[in-house]
Structure 1
Amino acid sequence: MANDKVLVLEGEMSLVLRQMNKTFYSNKEIFLQELINNASNALDKIQFESHTNKNILDDRVIRLIPHKANKTLSIIDTGIGMTKTDLAYNLGVGFYSTYLIADKVIVTSKHKDHDQYIWESQPGASFIVNNDINAQQPSRGTNITLFLKDNQLEYLEEVTIKNLVIKYCQHISHRIYLWNENTKDDWQLINIWFHNRERDSKHVAQKLMNHIPDDFVFSILSNLPLKSLKRFGCVRRSWALLFENSHFMNLLRNNFICNHQSYYDDTYLLLNLSPLYQNHYNSSLFSISGERFQNMEKLYWPSQIQEDYLEGIGILGSSSINGILCLYVKDLVYLWNPTINEFKVIPPSPFKNAPYYIYIGIKYHGFGYDCVRDDYKVVREVSFFVNSDDDVEPHDVFPLSCIWEMYSLRSNSWTILQLCDCVPTSFDDNNKFYLEGMCHWLGYAESCIQHVVSFDLINKVWITTLPPLDIPMEIYDNKHFVRRQLFLLNQSIALMSNYAETTTFYISILVEVGKKETWTLLFVFGPIPYIAFPIGTRDMGNILFQTHDGDLAWFNLNTHTVQKLGVNIHGGYSQLVVHKESLLTIARINS
C-alpha cells in the first residue's frame, strides 16, 4: 500500500456535499448531466491536442453501462484522462452530485501521459487513490462506476437513462452509447445530435437552457477553457455577456489560477543570473524548489563550455523541452540534458564564413519540438552589416541583409527558412516560449509596433497577432510608453502590460493565435511601488519580478502578496525556466 494516498474531505468539501444535498435534493438526476459534461470536456481536450499530435487516436466516445445485478452504473469516456493530482484535488463540485444517488463511487482513470490510478470513496467522507499497476491499461480515458442506493435503482432503466440524455445532453457533440444486453445491437447511439445534425440549434439550446439555473451555469462555464467559453457565447446571448459580470469573472480568475496543470508535475525552476559586477557579466545557474520557492541550490554549467564563455550564457525559451535545454553564447549553440549531463555542440551554419568586412548579428527566437518528425529545432535570425572601419571595394557587395535559419537535430544541420524580412524580431530572452508545436515570441515589426509571433515548427509558417488594447488610454495617448511582457501562464499565452511610469499591470490571455479579438483581459493588479518589471512565471499564478533595488520577488495573483526571494542581482539580467528531469538522450535523435 506504499502508493496509496488517503485524503479526508473535511471543512470545505464536507460543506460542498451538504450544500449539494440541500440544493439538489429534489433533482437528483442532475448527477448524470454533470458526469457526461465532465466526460465531454475530457474529449474536447484530447480532440484539441490531436490537432498538433497526429499520433493520438480519434476514438472519442462516451459509454453508459447499467448493470442491474450489481446495482452499478458506469460512465466511460476515451478523453484525456486524469492524473493522480487531478483525482485527489480537481474532481470538481459537480462530480460530488453522484453521492445523491450512490453509496460508493470508484473512478479509474488513465491520463495519456501518466500511469493509471483508482479513486475509491470510503465511509466518513474520505477516499483513497491507488496506482493501478496491475491493470491492462488503455491508452487513455476515465471509468466512473456508481454503486447505487437501493431507492435509486430507477437510474439503471434504459428509458430513464435515455430520457435524461435527451433532456440534459443534446448539446454534447460526442457520441453517447448505451449498453443493452437484451438486444441484438448491444450498443445504442442515444444522443439525437448525431441522428439529426440539421436540427434547429437555437431551439435545442433554448430547451436546454430552461433546465439550468444561472448559478449552476456560472459554475460550469467558469471551469471551461477560455477557447470553449468564447465559443459558448454564440449559444445564448446572456452567455456572451458573462465577461462583463464581475461575479462570473471572479470565478473564472480563481479557476484559471487554481486549476492545476499536469505540465508542471515533477518540475522545478532554473534561475539563470548574470549580476553586474564591475561591468562584467558572469552567468550563474540555480535550481529553485520548495512550497514557497525558498530553496536555492547552485548548479554548474556543462564543463564543455570554456570559462571564457561564462560571460552571458542564455537559455532559449522559458522551459526545457522533454528535459532538454538550449543554451547559447554569442554565435554558439548547445543542447544540454542536465539530468544525465549529456551535451551537444550544434555545428555552425554556412554563413559563419561570411567575408571579413561583414559583421554578423544573431538573435535566437525559438527552441521547440516537432512531434511529427520526432525532432528538436532552433530558430534564429542572422543579420549582416558592413563594418564601416574596413575598406570595402565597390564590387564587394554582400547580397543579403538578413536571413532566418532553423536547426534540425535529426539532420544536425541548419537550413534557410523562406520567411520575409518583415517577421517581427525579438530583443528580449524573457519574451519567448514553446507551446503545442509552436515557438512564440514578442517582436517588433519595421513600423516599431509590437506583435506576438507564433512560428509553426511542423509547417514552417508564422502567424502574427497584434497586442490587445487592454490599458486605459486616457492616462497616456502615446503607445510607446507601454511595456509588454509575453509569458506562458498556466499553459496559456499571456501578455502583461503596464505604462513605464506606473506599476499597475494588466494581463490578457490569447485564446486563438492570429485573432486579435480573442484577447481576454483577465487580471488587473497594482500599483506595487517597488516592483520594476516581470521576469517569468510559475504555476498557480506566481510571477517573478525584479524590484527597483535589484531584488527578486514573487507576486501571487491569487493573494496579491509579494515575497522576496533573498537574491539581489545588482542591476544585472535574469531568466526563469521550468525544467523537468528526463532520461531522454540527445544522441537518440541525432543518430
Structure 2
Amino acid sequence: MTNDEMLLLKGEMSEMLRLMKKTFYSNEEIFLCELINNASNALDKIQFEGIMNNSVLNDELIITLIPDKVNKTLSIIDNGIGMTKMDLVDHLGIGFYSAYLVAEKVILTSKHNDHDQYTLESQPSSSFIITKDINAQQLSRGTKITLFLKDNQLEYLQETTIKNLINKHCQLITHPIYLWSESNKDHWQLINIWLRNQEMYDKFVAQKLGNHLPDDLAFSILFKLPLKSLKRYGCLNKSWALLLENSNFMELFRINFISNQHSYYDDTSHLLCLDQLDKSSLFSLSGRSFQNMEKVNWSKGHCSRYFILGSSSINGILCLYPPNSGTMYLWNPSSGEFKIIPPSPIEYVPDSMDPNFYYHGFGYDCARDDYKVIRNLILFPSVHIEHEPDYEEWDIHGSWEIYSLRSNSWRKPKSDIYIYPWCEEIHKFYLEGMCHWLGNWRESYDDITKKNLVSFNLSNEEWFITPLPPLDIPLEIYDNFNINLVESHLFLLNGSIALISNYYETTTFSISILAEIGKKETWTKLVTLGPLPYLPRPIGIGNMSNILFRTTDGKLAWLDLRTHLVEKLDVNAHRMICQLIVYKENLFPTLGINS
C-alpha cells in the first residue's frame, strides 16, 4: 500500500447525501451537533483510557471551534483519542458525512497516541485521499476537521449562529467547548455556559456514564474517582450510591486511595519537632522509612521552646510560636529568612484577667498574595489576684484575630463564631486556601458544645462547621459507653481531610475521610485498624500513607497503611509533644520576610 491511498466513491456521495437529507437530516444545521458529538465521544474514550492508565492523559479535554471568514472555513478540533489509518478507511460514520450538507470540501487530520498522524482530504471527484501527514503541524493527540463551506452556508461562520446552535443541540456535551472570537479581547470563549453549573455538569456526566457503560466497566472506573466525585455521582445514580456499601468496591477504593500518592507530596520531605518542658528540637527525616534523623538548628535563638503551627510548611515557610505567649515567628529554614510577627493591639485587659492565646491556622491567601495567621484570644481569671474576679469581664469565647504579612498587622475577621479551642497542637493543617482544626462549637451561648471540624477560608473569611462522623465501634462491648471518651485525631491523608478515632484507652482505630466540608454525610469510612496494642496514639501522617504513632514504651513507629507493617524508630518521645511536618523547600525570598 502506498503512502497516498485513494478511496473512490464515484456516485455514492451524491446518493448518500440524498438519503441523509431524506431520512436523517431535514435541517442542515444539525451537522455541527453531529461533528461535536463525534468529538465528545473521542474525548470520552481517551478519558476512560486515562482512568485505567494515567500515562495516556495529562491535559485538559476540550473542543475548540475556529471560524475563518477570510478562507470560508470552520474547524472543529478535539484532543480526544484520535483515529488510526484503518479508522479513517473503515470507520467514518454518518456523523462525519453530515459535514457535506454545508461543505463542498473537507480535510480531516487525526493523531492517535500510538500511531502516526494522517490526513483525509475529499476531492471534487467524490473521492478521498488518505496521506501520512509528515509536513503539517503535528497534533499532540486528537482530530481536526476543517469544513470549506459552500457560498450559501457562510452563516455558520457567525459567532451568534454558532453559539445558538451549541445551546440548542449540544446541551448533553459534558466537555468544555471554546469558540475563537476576533471580537473578544481574550479570543477564546467558553460557549456551553451551562457547564459552569457544577450540579448540572455532574448530573449529565452521571447520565452519560450510566447510559454508556456496562456495570463491570463502571465498577472498575468508579473506584478510581476522587471521593468528592463519587459522592456527587452517587446522589444522581442510586446504583452507584450503593457501591459505597459494597465491601469489595470499598476495598478497591481504599487500595487505590492509599497507593496513589497525591501531588501535594511531590518534592516534599519531613520534619519532626520534639517538645520537652524546657526546649524544642527540630529534626529532618530521611531514608526509605524515615529512619535517618538530622538536627535542624534554629540559629536565631529567640526562644528555646516552641510549637509549629499546622502540619506543613507554606511555600517553604514555617510559623512558630512559644507556648503561652503572644509572640510568633515566620521562618524559612532553606533560605534563612526570618521575621518576628508584631504583637496585636490587644484591647483593654483588666488586671484581674490573664490573656491566653490559641493558635489555629497559618496559610496562604492566593487572592491577595498574602500569608495569614488566625488565632483566638481568651481571658481567664488571673492566678495572682486574691479576690474573686468579676466574671462579667471573663469572656470564655474570646476574640478572633488575623495577622496579615502584607500589612504586617493584626485585625479582627469579618465574622465571628462561638468556638471553644481544643488545645491539641497537632490536629491542625492548611489545605487549598483553608485552615482546618478540631474545636468545640455551639450555635448559641446556651447551647451544649460539641466537637466538630472547624474550617476557615483565608480569602473570604468564611467559617464552616462539619460535625464529626459517629465512632464505628460495637457499642455493646462497653458497659458504660461515654461519648466524651471518644478520642479524635485530625490529619491530612494523601491530600484529603482524615479523622482517626478510637475509644479511650483502646487501640482499634477507625479512619474516615471527608469529601466536602460542611456536609457531615460526606464522611466515608476508609479502614479500621487494630487492635494495635503497642501503638496507642497517632502523631501524624507522612507521604505514601505512613502514619506515625507513639508506642507504649515512649518510642515512635511508622505504620504503613498499604501493608499494615510497623517499623519502630529509635527515637525517645516519652512525655514529649511530637509534631510531624510535611516540608517543601523554597530558596526564593518571600514577600515581606527579611532576614
Match of 2:476 in 1: 474
Q: What residue identity is the alignment partner of 2:587?
A: L
Query: Higher mean Cα deviation, 545-554 or 177-186?
Result: 177-186
Deviations along 1:400-445, whole A, 9 cap, x unmatched?
Answer: 5521111110111111235546224121111100011110001123
2:331 paired with 1:336:
yes
Give the equivalent residue in structure 1 for 2:456. Answer: 455
Greater shift, 232-241 or 246-255, is seen at 232-241
Alignment of 1:383-422 (within 5 A): 383-387=378-382, 389-390=384-385, 398=393, 401=396, 402-417=398-413, 419-420=415-416, 422=418
Does 2:308 match 1:315?
Answer: yes
**Aligned CA distance change for structure 1 residues 197 and 374 (closer, same or farther; 3 Å):** closer
Mean Cα deviation higher: 451-460 or 194-203: 194-203
Query: How many angstroms apart in 2 are the aligned matches of 1:471 and 1:488?
Result: 20
**Are residues 575 and 494 of structure 1, via their aligned partners in 2, closer, same or farther at CA, if it must alter by over 3 Å?**
same
Q: Distance in 2 between matches of 1:265 and 1:203?
A: 33
1:110 matched residue in structure 2: none
For 2:529 and 2:394, the matched residues in 1 are separated by 49
Write the deviation string for residues 242-299 of structure 1: whole angstroms up to 9, x where unpaired. Answer: 0111221111011111222221111100100124xxxx43211000112211221111
- 1:442 is aligned to 438
Distance change (3 Å), C-alpha of 1:415 and 1:210: closer
Aligned partners of 1:191, 1:156: CA distance in 2, in Å? Answer: 27
Counterpart of 1:327 in structure 2: which amino acid? Answer: L
User: Deviation per CA, 1:108-157, whole angstroms, max 9, x where unpaired?
Assistant: xxxxxxxxxxxxxxxxxxxxxxxxxxxxxxxxxxx98524389xx89999
Whether the 8 Å CA contact 1:544–1:552 is kept in 2: the answer is yes
- Alignment partner, residue 146 of structure 1: 113
Equivalences for 1:189-200 in 2 at 5 Å? Answer: 193-194=172-173
How big is the shift at 1:555? 0.6
Q: How do 1:25-64 residues align onto structure 2 when only pairs under 5 Å count? A: 33-37=44-48, 61-62=62-63
1:204/1:391 CA distance change after superposition, 3 Å? closer
SS in 2 for 1:559: coil
- Report if the CA contact (8 A) 1:483-1:500 is conserved: yes
C-alpha deviations, 1:339-362, integer Å up to 9, x for none?
111110001111287444321111
SS at match of 1:578: strand
Once the two structures are superposed, what CA deviation does each residue of 1:506-552 show, in whole Å capped at 9, x if it has no partner?
11111111111111111111111111100110122111000111110
Q: Partner of 1:493 in structure 2? A: 497
Contact in 2 for aligned 1:470/1:521 (Cα 8 Å): no
Decide which structure has the larger Cα Rg and report it.
2
Asked if the contact 1:365–1:441 (Cα under 8 Å) also holds between the matched residues in 2, the reply is yes
Structure 1 CA distance for aligned equivalents of residues 487 and 63 of structure 2: 47
Q: Which residue of 1 aligns with 2:230?
A: 229
Deviation, 1:462, is 1.0
Which amino acid letter does the alignment assign opposite residue 292 of structure 2?
N
Amino acid at match of 1:193: L
Matches within 5 A, 1:40-119: 61-62=62-63, 76=79
Partners in 1 of 2:553 and 2:505 — Cα distance? 16
SS at match of 2:172: helix
Alignment correspondent of 2:279: 282
Flag the 1:395–1:63 CA change in 2: closer, same or farther, 3 A: closer
Matches within 5 A, 1:213-252: 213-252=214-253
The Cα shift of 1:223 comes to 1.0
Task: In structure 1, give the amino acid aligned to 2:238.
Answer: R
Distance in 1, matches of 2:201 and 2:460, equals: 38
Whole-angstrom CA distance in 1 between matches of 2:485 and 2:542: 27
Which residue of structure 2 aligns with residue 325 of structure 1? 318
Does 2:381 correspond to 1:380?
Answer: no
Q: SS at 1:242's partner residue?
A: helix
The change in CA–CA distance for 1:581 and 1:383 in structure 2 (over 3 A counts) is same
Measure, in 2, the Cα distance between the counterparts of 1:289 and 1:201. Answer: 42
Q: 1:570 aligned to 2:571?
A: no
Write the deviation string for residues 273-326 of structure 1: whole angstroms up to 9, x where unpaired: 124xxxx43211000112211221111124241xxx313x10000000011100
Distance in 1 (CA, whole Å) between partners of 2:477 and 2:452 is 22
- Relative to structure 1, the CA distance from residue 46 to residue 375 in structure 2 (aligned partners, 3 Å threshold; closer, same or farther) is farther
CA–CA distance in structure 2, aligned partners of residues 574 and 216 of structure 1: 45
Work out whether 1:532 is the aligned partner of 2:536.
yes
Q: Matches of 1:203 and 1:533 in 2, distance apart?
A: 44
**Aligned residue among 142, 148, 152 for 1:183:** 148
Is 2:498–2:511's contact at 8 Å kept on the other side of the alignment?
Answer: yes
Question: How far 1:33 moved relative to its partner?
Answer: 3.5
| 2:421 corresponding residue in structure 1 | 425
Deviation at 1:192, TM superposition (A): 5.3
TM-score (norm. length: structure 2): 0.68
> Shift of the alpha carbon at 1:327?
0.3
Provide the rounded CA distance (Å) in 2 between the counterparts of 1:470 and 1:338: 39
Matched residue, 2:445: none
Equivalent position amino acid for 2:529 in 1: F
What residue in structure 1 maps to residue 290 of structure 2? 293
2:546–2:561: 8 Å Cα contact kept in structure 1? yes
What is residue 258 of structure 1 aligned with on the other side? Answer: 259
TM-align CA RMSD = 4.2
Identical-residue share of aligned pairs (%): 47
Look up the match of 2:97. Answer: none
2:589 maps to 585
Aligned residue type for 2:263? S
Letter in 1 for 2:337: E
Tell me, yes or no, if the aligned pair for 2:78 and 2:144 is still in contact at 8 Å.
no
1:369 matched to 2:364? yes
Confirm or deny: 8 A CA contact 1:370 1:458 kept in the other structure: yes
Native 8 Å contact 1:375 1:409 kept in 2:
yes
Residues 1:517 and 2:521 are matched in the alignment: yes
Instruction: Name the CA distance, whole Å, in 1 between partners of 2:209 and 2:61.
Output: 23
Alpha-carbon distance between aligned partners in 2 of 1:202 and 1:425, rounded to the nearest angstrom: 40
Asked if the contact 1:368/1:457 (under 8 Å) is kept, the reply is yes
Q: Which amino acid aligns with 1:423?
A: I
What is the identity, as a one-letter code, of the residue corresponding to 1:450? K
Is contact 2:77–2:143 with CA below 8 Å preserved after alignment? no
**1:576 Cα deviation (Å)?**
0.3
Distance 1:154 1:365, change over 3 A: same
Instruction: Flag the 1:494–1:396 CA change in 2: closer, same or farther, 3 A.
Output: closer
Q: Indicate if the aligned counterparts of 1:269 and 1:577 stay in contact, CA closer than 8 A.
A: yes
Aligned residue for 1:540, secondary structure, equals helix
Q: Distance in 1 between matches of 2:58 and 2:518?
A: 22
- AA in 2 matched with 1:370: D
Contact 1:363–1:382, Cα closer than 8 Å, also in 2? yes
Alpha-carbon distance change, 394 to 523 in structure 1, aligned in 2, over 3 angstroms: closer
Q: Which amino acid aligns with 1:284?
A: S
Separation of aligned partners in 1, 2:380 and 2:513: 38
- Aligned residue in 2 for 1:549: 553
Q: C-alpha displacement at 1:568, in angstroms?
A: 1.3
- Conserved? CA contact 2:258–2:494, under 8 Å: yes
Q: Secondary structure at the match of 1:483?
A: strand
C-alpha distance in 1, partners of 2:193/2:348? Answer: 65
Larger CA deviation: 192-201 vs 484-493: 192-201
240 and 399 in structure 1: CA distance in 2 versus 1, 3 angstrom threshold = closer
Q: 1:583 to 1:62 in 2, by over 3 A?
A: farther
Give the whole-Å Cα distance in 2 for the aligned partners of 1:544 and 1:462.
Answer: 30
**CA contact 1:375–1:589 (8 Å) conserved in 2:** no
Structure 1 residue 231 displacement after superposition: 1.2
Distance (Å, rounded) in 1 between the aligned partners of 2:121 and 2:438: 55
Task: Give matches, 1:12-31, under 5 Å.
Answer: none
